[in-house]
Amino acid sequence: MKKEDSILISEFSEEHSHYFGSLNREWIQKFYTLEPADLELLDHPRQTVIDTGGAILFASYRGTIIGTVGLRLRDSGQMEMIKLAVKEEHRGLGAGKLLCLAAMQKAESMGADKMVLYSNTLQEKAIALYRRLGFVERPVEKGVYARANIKMEFSFRKDLQRINWFDRKFEFNTGVSAFESLAERLAGSPGLFMERIGRASEEGCQRKPEGKWSVKEHLGHLSVLEPVWRLRFQDIREEKPVMGPADLSNRATHEGDFNKQSLEILCGLFQEERNRTLYLLSGFPKEDLQKTSRHPRLQQRMNCCDLMLFVAEHDLHHLNPIHNLLNDD
């Protein structure tokens, strides 16, 4: 049995409410200074979180509360994940991940379209976890939290899978300073897909509702496109006027017979292909990252970081239908 199998997640109760304050004070004071907004939340969790339409969850291990997380209702159908904390001596058991997953499920069940969070890049392990769970970076608004320098977002909207990729609009102005975070995001995608698939059945991942792609075909498609991305990164590096074209009919995916391959092989193939792409990018000097080439379909000039963002968004475009296919199975 995994240690995380012994962790239980429970909802807010007055009996445990004081843990929301004590666990968060412990880690905040270790790294930062408590802000007035912190004190209001931690001292009055029912009034500031529960009674305003949010939720608080607790993680217990062998009968002891070891972690907590909150959800605060925001405008426009959004939930903000707040105050994720796990006792230092109990870290490594998987409680943080389970609390995040439980919070995501709770937010979705409460009708949220999106879930947002604010953090600080000093919290490297936490941010890596958020990325593995599918959160993506968004611009941080001014004056939200004094210590927040990163905002992340996860969308629950099932209609995202109905948005045609070719109808997506992009504004490309990605700075070279984003290279490391984008590389980390690309590196985390194969693991994120594997985590979402989990212990799904081979048969379930071959299902083609309404004739659309199965889970396996989405995975196969991602692997098929990696060589295309690599060629386009090279085109940018060589400052070609226009990047090489892609097969917009997705013939290689339709003819790939991916439903006859195992999930293990398909996930491994995506990981292998993505590693090759990241290895290629790791050899680009900074000056090459700033070069541009025109995207043949979008008719927009893109630098390497723009294309990295484009690829990362394409990953998410296929993760959403996989998530929904598995939920409907």
Q: What is the pLDDT of residues 212-247, one digit of tens each?
A: 899 999 999 999 999 999 999 999 999 999 999 988
CA nearest neighbour of 118 among 143, 141, 148, 97: 148
Question: How far is the C-alpha of 203 from the C-alpha of 279, rounded, in Å?
Answer: 34
Structure letter (DSSP) for residue 204? G
CA nearest neighbour of 220 among 255, 186, 175, 258: 258
Average pLDDT, the chain: 87
pLDDT tens, residue by residue, 144-172: 777 888 888 888 765 444 557 777 777 78
Question: How far is the C-alpha of 61 from the C-alpha of 67, rounded, in Å?
Answer: 9
Q: What is the pTM of this model?
A: 0.61
- Mean pLDDT computed over 296-324: 88
Please tell me whether residue 171 adopts helix, strand or coil conformation: coil
Backbone angles phi, psi at 286, to 5 degrees: -55, -40
Please tell me whether residue 292 adopts helix, strand or coil conformation: coil
pLDDT higher than 70, residue 75: yes
> What domains are there in the chain, each with its CATH number?
3-156 (3.40.630.30), 162-328 (1.20.120.450)
State the amino acid at position 78 in one-letter form. Answer: Q
Please tell me whether residue 223 adopts helix, strand or coil conformation: helix
Q: CA triplet 155, 23, 125: central angle to 5 degrees?
A: 50
* Tokens read off for 45: 């969790």
